[in-house]
Amino acid sequence: MSTPEHPDFLWRTPEPKRHYDVVIVGGGGHGLATAHYLARNHGITNVAVLERGWLAGGNMARNTTLIRSNYLWDESAAIYEHSLKLWEGLEEDLDYPILFSQRGVLNLAHTEQDVRDSVRRVEANRLNGIDAEWLGPDEVAKICPIVNVSDGIRYPVQGATYQPRAGIAKHDYVAWGFARRADEAGIDIIQNCEVTDFVVDGDRVTSVRTSRGDIACGTVALCAAGHTSVLLDRLGVRTPLQSHPLQALVSELLEPVHPTIVMSNAVHVYVSQAHKGELVMGAGVDGYNGYGRRGAFHVIERQMAAAVELFPVFARAHLLRSWAGIVDVTPDASPVVGHTPYENVLVNAGWGTGGFKATPGIGWAFADTVAHGRPHPLVAPFALDRFVTGALVDEHGAAGVAH
Amino acid sequence: MQLITCPWCGPREETEFRYGGQADLAYPADPSALDDEQWARFVFFRDNPEGAFAERWCHDAGCRRWLRAVRDTRTYVFAETRPYGRTA
Ligand SMILES: Cc1cc2nc3c(=O)[nH]c(=O)nc-3n(C[C@H](O)[C@H](O)[C@H](O)COP(=O)(O)OP(=O)(O)OC[C@H]3O[C@@H](n4cnc5c(N)ncnc54)[C@H](O)[C@@H]3O)c2cc1C
Ligand SMILES: [Zn+2]
């Protein structure tokens, strides 16, 4: 498939103003989507997106772009399905190509416990109006003929859940599409502008300190992914966020061989094939906390071993590149969204290994939260205080390897 | 793959070790006196610094003893490793 021509500049490069009604920290997918929906849904345009590096240079352009909504719990299903519905109309809304391709996802089950959990998740998904099916090994092979469903492997495939509406998109085009629309609405996107500290007055932040001077603000909306806790440390706000390197890799370009997305939590790998033809693979985070944007090679080796076991046809494919992003994980594998002890500081973080798919959904709901100063119903269950009340949204089953 | 110096076994490959997260978290002295907020802090909230971090590691595939490391989370370089002690 050929990729579209892009104009030389999709957004302006403005000098920061001295005051904005809303300062969004972080120019990744979530910050840019929040900016777009602030303008589109709420008419709020005196907004800056401050990005310390280049636009979408964080996880937004490092992720493997899997989009799905087949999460177990009602709270997660609601926000991810809201997001998936927005993906389905996003190209028109942004008036920009994003190569969203709904090719479906198979989440493989390899043990009896896997099978029970998977069937339960299918039933839960259906009750939430999400497309989900349970498939036996033969049906898995019909959808994806290159998966090894024989008994000859260490953990034979016992079946899979299938969500036909799941898919992939082109991550950088998504970021550029949001950025272009936010810019058109008058929002300032300011790159090479690192937020280093906050100026505080009582329980309000009056300005953000940046590498390009102080900027006064009405509301601060944190969308800094893996660096969120570093910023909140400056305010003395503790969170249960832990930052880890998460790696992914691509093969050389191949003819189309892989028609869908395959994920395996038990064997520990997931694979899709991008539009250009490279196989895109990943698994779980590197074990230790890290901000180094690189991970250990043994983690890659394990993923490759799992991939070759499940897809014998990949044995001779060459690994082209591997890389890492810094993801912010939480104890229950669910995000942290909403208020902080500072009245005008709102946080959107903790999406860990799975926040790309949420980009339009959280942009929509977080913009609404910022605009009205109260949690949108879709994000209310993800407030920071759930770690005190005990109302966790434990998505480890649906989110471990499967981003 | 990097080498981690076990205080007992010497330099070993990192795959022999398990990560144990932030070091020096003391179990509450008077557990029944804690409210929900304090329990949440003990159970779920951890430091997450960008820079030097005092951590626990266990030499799982070797002597199986716990050690206390100070590691830079930006470079992953270990500044020190020593036996994990109650008075750490
Ligand atoms: C290898 C990998 C694979 C993944 N695969 C998937 C997947 O298949 N599906 C899925 O749904 N999710 C996936 N994810 C997760 C997903 O990428 C993230 O959850 C999501 O991108 C986070 O939101 P974001 O785009 O806003 O983050 P980011 O793009 O990381 O944006 C945060 C931005 O904040 C900026 N920033 C940080 N500190 C400051 C500061 N002090 N001042 C100014 N700016 C600052 C950063 O530079 C960065 O650009 C994956 C992640 C990785 C790393
Ligand atoms: Zn040892």
Domain residues of chain B, as ranges? Answer: 3-83
Contact A195 CB / ligand 1 (< 6 Å): yes
| Cβ contact B19–A287 (<8 Å) | yes
Beta strands (DSSP E) in A254-318 are 261-264, 269-273, 278-285
Residues of B in contact with A290 (CB under 8 A): 73-74, 76
pTM tops 0.95: yes
Count of C-beta atoms within a 10 Å radius of residue A148: 17
Cβ A376 vs Cβ A106: under 8 Å: no
pLDDT of residue B86: 53
Q: CB distance from A238 to chain B under 8 Å?
A: yes
Q: Strand, coil or helix: what is A172?
A: helix
Q: Which residues pair with A319 in a beta bridge?
A: A251
Burial class (CB in 10 A: 0-12, 13-18, 19+), A127: exposed
Distance of CA B74 to the CA centre of its chain: 16
Which numbered ligand comes closest to the C-alpha of A271? 1
Residues of A in contact with B67 (CB under 8 A): none
Section B30-47 average pLDDT:
96
Cβ A11 vs Cβ A180: under 8 Å: yes
Contact A344 CB / ligand 1 (< 6 Å): no
- The chain-wide mean pLDDT, for chain B, equals 95
The list of chain A residues with pLDDT below 70 reads 1-4, 398-402
Q: Strand, coil or helix: what is A300?
A: helix
For the CA of A356, the nearest atom of ligand 1: 11
- Within 268-297 of A, beta carbons closer than 8 Å to B belong to 287-292, 296-297
Substitution candidate for ligand 1 out of A232, A356, A364 with most atoms within 8 A of CB: A356
Q: How far off is chain A from B23, nearest CA to CA, in Å?
A: 13
| Cβ contact A292–B75 (<8 Å) | yes
Minimal Cα distance from B36: which residue of A? A388
Indicate the CATH number for domain B3-83.
Answer: 3.30.2270.10
Nearest CA to ligand 1 atom 18: A355
Q: Given a cut of 90, is residue B19 above it in pLDDT?
A: yes
- As given in the structure block, the two tokens for residue A63 are 């992720």
pLDDT of residue B85: 82
Q: Given a cut of 50, is residue B88 above it in pLDDT?
A: no
Cβ A250 vs Cβ A366: under 8 Å: no
Distance CA A229, CA B44 (A): 14
Nearest CA to ligand 1 atom 53: A325
Sign of CA dihedral A201, A204, A209, A215: negative
Cβ-based interface (< 8 Å): residues of B facing A: 1-2, 14-15, 18-19, 21, 36-37, 40-41, 43-46, 48-50, 53, 55, 71, 73-76
Pure H helices in A21-111: 29-42, 74-94
The secondary element (H helix, E strand) that includes residue A214 is strand A213-222
pLDDT of residue A399: 63
